[in-house]
Structure 1
Amino acid sequence: MNPNETVDGVDLDRLRQWMDDHHLGSGDLTDVALLTGGTQNVLVRFRRDGRDYVLRRPPVHKRANSDETMRRESRVLAALAGTDVPHPGFIAGESDVEVLGASFYLMEPVDGFNAAAGLPEPHRSDPTMQREMGLALVDGAATLSTVDHEQVGLGDLGRPDGYLERQVGRWRKELAGYREISDQWVPDIPGVDEVGNWLDANRPENSAPGIIHGDYHTANVMYRHDGPQLAAIVDWELATIGDPLIDLGLIIAFRTHDDQASVGPGADLVQAFPPVDDLVARYAQRSGRDVSAAAWYGVLACYKTGIILEGTHARAIAGKAAKATGDTLHAITLSLFRKADRLIRES
């Protein structure tokens, strides 16, 4: 590949010069391969001076907060170095958008696979391994929850005070805001008000702050090729400081059975995971945290995720997204609220 070429917003010659300035090898960038791009965050793998790298930057057409998000990811990954949390090794980052037109960072490649995209062998044919993959997913969240965010320099990353108290109001406001997208959209989500009211009325009183990944599910982890363990937790753009049981809540939400639909990233694999009670017990064992209100976090995950997905349904009604996509995501929203109702009834 021509060293002067630009790959999805990454000017390879300018990147080479930047790496020279930061003493990251010498010579040309070789074996350049685009891993993701387009509307997603851009990932480019390459080799230099005998070492492999992965560059991560925002999409070419950035969102308003894209650069700040990339700086946040860089900071979190750098802080996790030396911890037991499986994560891509951070190499170096750049906050100045003048270098490549966006903030970016370099990390170590991860030797693993994304289970949401399909299972390789032996994972595909081994139910026991699939069950253990569920426990490994929980272990990753539990391990993250044990990291002292103050000690690793992330004390000012978020606003942990009042974190849980803000949740329902935030997402209720988000849902109401969809009327600005389309005046034909109506919040046709049975139980949405009841679930929100239940969450406010039953909010846990004790919440010990810690690092939250913020979007913790099978699509945002990579598994090892040789076993059920995690190779790395990826996509840290929503990381903050708050109540770490938020991450457990999303595992509960996607694992909770719905007779009418199987939803969420890697839904078929998730249904092979141990039952919710076993996953919660594993989290308690590995994290040392109080999980007596685990169902509440599962309900919140259903509520929040369902409302987020409903935004695409509103955009589809407004002609700003494909109708089929909007209909599919609306169906998933309804399924999530059925799950929330089930969790409430069983709590």
Structure 2
Amino acid sequence: MDTNALAAFLDEQLGDHQPIAVEAMTGGGSCEVFSLDRGDDHWVLRRAPAHANTSRAHDVLREYRILAALEGAAVRVPRPIVACDDTRIFATPFYVMERIDGVPVRNGIPAAWADAPETQHRAVEELIDALVEVHAIDWRAVGLTDLGRAEGFLERQVERWLAQLASYGGRDLPAAHGIGRWLDAHRPAGQAPTLFHGDYKLDNVLYATDAPPRLLAVVDWEMGTIGDPLIDLAWALIFHPVGGTMPLGTSGPHTFALDQLPSAEAMVARYAERSGRDVSSIDWYHVFSRWKGAIVLEGSFAKWQRGESNKAVHEHFGPQADRLLLSAAALIDGRPG
């Protein structure tokens, strides 16, 4: 890849001249991620893909703004370095942040955790505790007042996501429309708005690889807004290793010892205790989050169907979306989801 323009941009922005080395990294979710070494600094560059599912799903500049606002706050995030919206520099908008020496939990867990199963509960407890920290941020005080429309957030969600589904031009998914009607008919009053991550789960945070587990940073903020915090909580629990619809950390060479982990119900109780929020309507949020997750995955599947995605994993997102809709329907019917 041609990095001359990127090197010149960094020299201009940072006020010195240093050689750079750029290498593509795996992971990063919907965005493209690169390791960026410049002199003695070791950073990560995140850039938007050439084809986006939504105007927000790959908004790396929005993500940079959130990280910049949170710098110095009591929340675990990487330090932002610089951002750029000039597509002549590195093909699409991007930003640079500090590199955190940590790993997400996807298929498996670090070997040190597997060797100390009695400590593994800390991984999911840390996930909840870091979420409580995010939701405790005074988003007005840090300059994020206009990040999203807090008023009527929950009331807008069904219409917004059904419109998103229609915009893909792919499968119609009748089950999504039926569940959407149920969600509108049973919508709770909602929570006081907070800073809202939008894709909070075990593989969008970074952990130290030693034991006991320590959560170092919350990453992948491009879906961040101001919204209902219980959506973040219920979303995270879709991926909970114990009973989650799409469990993480359960299929790698080293996996969670499930009998050492708290249940999803215990996670909700921990969040309630530490945040002071009323979680009595969490069942609605469990349905909503699975339904929303299906629509999000369908966007990437539709891109793959159109030949606009070169990520092989997107081929499997259609079946995963179907599974999430089945899970949401089961919860509505009072069956395990």
> Which range, TM-score by smaller chain?
0.7 to 0.9
Structure 1: state its 5+ residue gaps. 1-5
Shift of 1:198: 3.7
Distance 1:328 1:270, change over 3 A: farther
1:257, CA displacement in angstroms?
Answer: 6.5
**Which of residues 69, 83, 87 in structure 1 aligns to 2:77?**
87
Counterpart position of 2:237: 252
**TM-score, structure 1 as length reference:** 0.80
- Per the alignment, residue 41 of structure 2 pairs with 51
**Structure 1 residues 269-313: Cα deviation after superposition (integer angstroms, max 9, x where no partner):** 688341122111211222232222222222210121123334566
| Cα contact 2:245–2:324 (8 A) shared by 1 | no
Q: Which residue of 2 aligns with 1:307?
A: 295
Code of the residue aligned with 1:263 in structure 2: it is M
Corresponding residue to 2:282 among 288, 294, 297: 294
Helix, strand or coil for the counterpart of 2:199? Answer: coil
Conserved 8 A contact 2:207-2:216? yes
What residue number does 1:71 align with? 61
Give, in whole Å, the separation in 1 of the partners of 2:286 and 2:132. Answer: 15
- 1:236 corresponding residue in structure 2: 221
Q: Which moved more, 1:155-164 or 1:297-306?
A: 297-306
Deviation at 1:43, TM superposition (A): 1.9
Is 1:337 the counterpart of 2:320 in the alignment?
no
Compared CA separation, residues 232 and 33, structure 1 to 2 (3 A): same
Query: Alpha carbons of 1:271 and 1:327: their partners in 2 closer, same or farther (altered >3 Å)?
Result: farther
Mapped to 1, the partners of 2:88 and 2:112 lie a distance apart of 46
The aligned counterpart of 2:13 is: 22
Change (3 A) 1:271 1:324: farther
Question: What is aligned with 1:276?
Answer: 264
Instruction: Decide whether the 8 Å contact of 1:257 with 1:339 is kept in 2.
Output: no
Given that residues 240 and 246 in structure 2 are in contact (C-alpha distance below 8 angstroms), is that contact kept between their aligned partners in structure 1? no
The question of whether the paired residues in 2 share the 8 Å contact of 1:16 and 1:28 is answered with: yes
Residue in 2 aligned with 1:219?
203
* Closer, same or farther: CA 324–16 of 1 in aligned 2, 3 Å: closer
Structure 1 residues 25, 62: CA separation in 2 closer, same or farther (over 3 Å shift)? farther
Counterpart-to-counterpart distance in 1, 2:240 and 2:90: 41
Q: Which amino acid aligns with 1:325?
A: H
CA contact (8 A) 2:294 2:322 kept: no
Indicate how the Cα distance of structure 1 residues 257 and 35 shifts in structure 2: closer, same or farther if over 3 A, else same.
closer
Is 1:203 matched up with 2:184?
A: no
Once residues 238 and 17 of structure 1 are traced to their aligned partners in structure 2, the CA distance between those partners, rounded to angstroms, is: 30
Asked if 1:263 corresponds to 2:251, the answer is no
Q: Which moved more, 1:96-105 or 1:316-325?
A: 316-325
Structure 1 residue 98: Cα displacement: 3.7
Residue 106 (structure 1) aligns with: 96
Q: Residue 253 of structure 1 contacts residue 339 of structure 1 at CA under 8 Å; is this kept in 2? A: no
Looking at structure 1, the residues matched to 137 and 28 of structure 2 have their Cα atoms a distance apart, in angstroms, of 34
Number of the residue aligned with 1:164: 154
- Which amino acid is the alignment partner of residue 286 of structure 1? R
User: Aligned-residue CA RMSD in angstroms?
Assistant: 3.4
In the alignment, the residues of structure 1 paired with residue 241 and residue 113 of structure 2 have an alpha-carbon distance, to the nearest angstrom, of 22
Shift of 1:241: 0.9
Indicate if the aligned counterparts of 1:256 and 1:339 stay in contact, CA closer than 8 A.
no
Letter in 1 for 2:130: G
Distance 1:46 1:239, change over 3 A: same
CA separation in 1, counterparts of 2:57 and 2:90? 11
TM-score w.r.t. the length of structure 2 is 0.82
Instruction: Report the Cα distance in structure 2 between the residues aligned to 1:83 and 1:284, rounded to whole angstroms.
Output: 22
Q: Distance in 1 between matches of 2:203 and 2:66?
A: 19
* Unmatched tracts of structure 2, length 5 or more: none
* Contact 1:306/1:336, CA 8 A, preserved across alignment: no
Aligned residues of 2:200 and 2:236 also touching (Cα < 8 A): yes
CA contact (8 A) 1:249 1:294 kept: yes
Could you tell me how far 1:265 is from its partner in structure 2?
Answer: 4.1
Show the counterpart of 2:131. 141
Q: Between the two proteins, what is the percent identity of the paired residues?
A: 36
